[in-house]
Structure 1
Amino acid sequence: MRLGYLWAALLFAPLLHAGDKVSAQQFVDLQQGDSVHPGFRRAHAKGICVQGEFRNNGALAQYSSAQIFATSVTPFVGRFSLAGNNPTAPDLKAPVRSLALSFATSASEQWRIAMNTPPVMAVSNPQDFYQQLVAIKSGPKAIQTFFAEHPESADFLAWKDSYQPSGSFAAETYHSINAFYLVDDNEQRQPVRWHMQPTVSVTDDGLSGPNALHQELKARLAKQPVVFDWLFTLASAQDDERNPAIQWPAERPRINAGKIVITQWQAQQDGACHSINFDPLVLPSGISPTVDAILRARSAAYAESYRRRAVEQLRGQAKELSND
């Protein structure tokens, strides 16, 4: 692990959101549960590192001064992962799949992105999100009661009811969930959400085994790159960019910023992604966060999870696992 990030996590993560009703420590305690897997993330523990490049088409240069939208090609380190705290869990059982990317946009700036298959959150504040996790761990009756008491979950439940998992990490759509601002040279801000849209369609026919998605991705990359279109949805004045539980109308303008092209994979424990904290608040100039409480809570929880696995790495407690 890079020492600078490690010590930053050790020193500052315990202080994040200390005054909130639900702390980062409580979130991560709940996510990791009674079974701790030393050296692994407390959420989305099972994953695979990837590398590739963003091929920019220039379409967002008028909206953002970020260097990534002015440069033709920007390399990245990324990670596909699965929901849950178990790094050996069966791939096809996970309810959520994720894609995270880290761009070094200049010598002094980075952009880290953490996306999930749901387009929205079920709730709009950290306290309710914590109670949602409690309900999930308590069983089907508890989560049904929770959703009945939270009508703002309607958009999430509509997605959940219609979602059909694909047979490949490469065939999923990954969403920012939270909104951000594109900031231009005149400091004008445009609220956006984005998603990575696959260029292939893959069913899960014939997939089997605990590491089915990992094996499928490795076989796919041995033949050709995995490609996504990077699509940005522009909010109107009627949309509340602070509320991650509300889906924006389909008629909002959408801009294709270019292609995400994945060319390589690495086992996560030996790969470049393992030491990265994919904190969604690590942003370059030209991109800024909205006042979204869940976005802040995500950042704090990621830092606390990173702190714990960094300590375990220092103590030599991390275990070696394989997803072959």
Structure 2
Amino acid sequence: MDQPPFTWRGTPVSRRALLAGAGAVAAFLAVDLGAVAYANNWMGGRFTRQAIIDRFQALSGVHPGFRRNHAKGVAVSGRFESTGAAAELTVATVLAAGVSPVVGRFSLGGGNPTVADTPGAVRGFGVAIGFPGRDQWRSAMINLPVFPVNSPEAFYDQLLASAPDPATGKPDPAAMAAFLAKYPASKAATAVIKQHPPTPGFADSPFGGLNTFHFVDDSGVRTPVRWMLVPRQQARPPAATGPNGLFDALIQQVKAGPVAWDLRVVVGTDQDPVDPTLPWPADRRAVTAGTLVLDTIETESPGNARDLNFDPLALPHGMEPSDDPILGARSAVYAESYRLRTGEPKSPSAVQVDEVAS
């Protein structure tokens, strides 16, 4: 695919300048855009952001310089080619017709940055679309059809239930059964998730925002939406040997040529649930807002996606959060994880792009 040049107010901007600028302002944006959520430490009862951070560290250990969840990852960049089809719903400039820069990060769930890839691990994709500032859109998506929990309390208890039994190294089935009995919404979500087994790799994974947001048009009309990225290609099969099979296959695929996803915005109604464990009706209208194209993949390092906080509440003008309590909880925990890792020494990523043969 030919790569269109990026422009800012009519002036061409190089990819190197884009990445340098993103790194330089990352700290400011992470604090500023997450300030409200971060200041509100109390997310409900005893389930503070620090309690959840502590639980992640108890499960995976403390790994200075890495995210407390989705610790293992690789940085990517490219562009978003907007069709302008979603401009009827929002004044967000990234969804007006045109091309915007993209910086992103693929990851695996969990707090261990050296964990071996497994096909069933939750896959994440954090993305920042547009230039840093009030018009940039950040989203943290995963490859599940629904979110497994709908409250900070349920999320914390899910982490407890997921703790490995010292005798087996695996979660205690009785603990997980008790968790699902306590939270019927999570039990129903688990059934939905099991109906959608993971694809072979990152490149053919769909990624969804899962939470409900609102798009706001130029008349102030607010429309509930959810969004997902739908892959345009099959994935290379994961490498048969080594601990980074999923990542190595992705690296080889991006080195061979761009990979792409269509951004599909699902248009809801006021009757559709905000609860992220509940899917919306299948007949809801979907708008293909554009195509996200990734053509560069890099080891995490200063100035690329390693230093970005993919706060789901970092929204541009024209997008607003719903009252889903998971959004505030995620924002608060992301901010605390960001604060911790930026003050810690950095260790090399387990995923070294230059070591993977094309």
Match of 1:100 in 2: 126
> 1:80 pairs with 103, 106, 119, which one?
106
Match of 1:51 in 2: 77
Residue 17 (structure 1) aligned with residue 45 (structure 2): no
Structure 1 Cα separation of the partners of residues 241 and 196 of structure 2: 20
Give the deviation of 1:3 after TM superposition: 6.9
Match of 1:207 in 2: 240
Give the deviation of 1:270 after TM superposition: 4.4
Distance change >3 Å, CA 8–CA 70, structure 1 → 2: closer
Match of 1:171 in 2: 204
Distance change >3 Å, CA 70–CA 190, structure 1 → 2: same
Provide the secondary structure at the position in 2 that maps to 1:44.
Answer: coil
Residue 311 (structure 1) aligned with residue 331 (structure 2): no
Match of 1:111 in 2: 137
Task: Summarize the alignment of residues 29-68 of structure 1 with structure 2, pairs less than 5 Å apart.
Answer: 29-33=54-58, 35-68=61-94
> 1:290 pairs with 285, 306, 322, which one?
322
The answer to whether the 8 Å contact 2:89/2:216 transfers is: yes
The answer to whether the 8 Å contact 1:180/1:287 transfers is: yes
Structure 2 Cα separation of the partners of residues 97 and 29 of structure 1: 22
Residue 233 (structure 1) aligned with residue 262 (structure 2): no
Task: Summarize the alignment of residues 143-292 of structure 1 with structure 2, pairs less than 5 Å apart.
Answer: 143-202=176-235, 204=237, 207-241=240-274, 243-270=275-302, 272-292=304-324
The answer to whether the 8 Å contact 2:309/2:335 transfers is: yes
Select between 188-197 and 127-136 the one with higher mean Cα deviation: 127-136
Identity %: 37
Using the size of structure 2 for normalisation, the TM-score is 0.83
Q: What is the CA deviation profile of residues 182-217 of structure 1, one whole-angstrom value per residue up to 9, with x for unaligned ones?
A: 100001011010110111233747633211122111
- What are the ranges of 5 or more consecutive residues in structure 2 without an aligned counterpart? 1-22, 165-170, 353-358
> 1:320 pairs with 325, 334, 348, which one?
348
Q: What is the CA deviation profile of residues 141-175 of structure 1, one whole-angstrom value per residue up to 9, with x for unaligned ones?
A: 21122112322124421233223322321110101
Q: Which amino acid aligns with 1:277?
A: N
Structure 1 Cα separation of the partners of residues 28 and 66 of structure 2: 14
The answer to whether the 8 Å contact 1:49/1:274 transfers is: yes
Q: What is the CA deviation profile of residues 98-146 of structure 1, one whole-angstrom value per residue up to 9, with x for unaligned ones?
A: 1110123575432110001112222321112211111111522211221
The answer to whether the 8 Å contact 2:69/2:110 transfers is: yes
Distance change >3 Å, CA 44–CA 107, structure 1 → 2: closer
> 1:5 pairs with 10, 27, 30, which one?
27
Q: What is the CA deviation profile of residues 58-104 of structure 1, one whole-angstrom value per residue up to 9, with x for unaligned ones?
A: 11111100001114101110000000111111112552001110123
**Aligned CA-pair RMSD:** 2.3
The answer to whether the 8 Å contact 2:212/2:321 transfers is: yes
Structure 1 Cα separation of the partners of residues 124 and 57 of structure 2: 18
The answer to whether the 8 Å contact 1:16/1:24 transfers is: no
Select between 281-290 and 147-156 the one with higher mean Cα deviation: 147-156
The answer to whether the 8 Å contact 2:102/2:128 transfers is: yes
